[in-house]
């Protein structure tokens, strides 16, 4: 079962295709290479939300779909939920 999708291997987040529960080992699929990746979820990740694939520090960029979508405002561990509590959009 695929739990999340990653547009390309340069991305540092994936997008949940199902609800992912904390503690679950989630399987992701890189859409560009069709390679699979496994990440242990540290928090619940709701459908459509982002899961961290790399350790991210304050001021790092979040890369999704090959684009810089925002700036990290609180450190993020691999497998954590990436959302408005730890990410500030680049749009405003």
Q: Is 43 exposed, middle or buried (0-12, 13-18, 19+ CB in 10 A)?
A: middle
Taking only the tens place, the pLDDT of each residue in 29-76 is 999 999 999 999 999 999 999 999 999 999 999 999 999 999 999 999
| 14: β partners | 51
Token duo for residue 40: 């242990």
Give the rounded distance of the alpha carbon of 7 from its chain centre: 11
Which domain CATH number covers 55?
Answer: 2.30.130.110
Token duo for residue 2: 């695929």
Looking at residue 59, what is its pLDDT? Answer: 96
Global pTM exceeds 0.85 = yes
Answer yes or no: is pLDDT of 22 > 90.
Answer: yes
The whole domain housing 33 covers 4-89
Token duo for residue 38: 């496994």
Domain count, the chain: 1
Answer yes or no: is pLDDT of 91 > 90.
Answer: no
């Amino acid at each position: 079962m695929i739990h999340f999708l990653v547009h390309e291997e340069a991305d540092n987040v994936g997008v949940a295709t199902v609800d992912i529960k904390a503690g679950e080992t989630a399987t992701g699929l890189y859409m560009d290479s069709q390679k699979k990746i496994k990440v242990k979820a540290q928090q619940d990740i709701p459908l459509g939300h982002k899961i961290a694939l790399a350790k991210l520090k304050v001021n790092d960029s979040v890369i999704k779909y090959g684009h810089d979508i925002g700036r990290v405002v609180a450190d993020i561990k691999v497998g954590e939920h990436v959302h408005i509590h730890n990410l500030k959009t680049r749009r405003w």
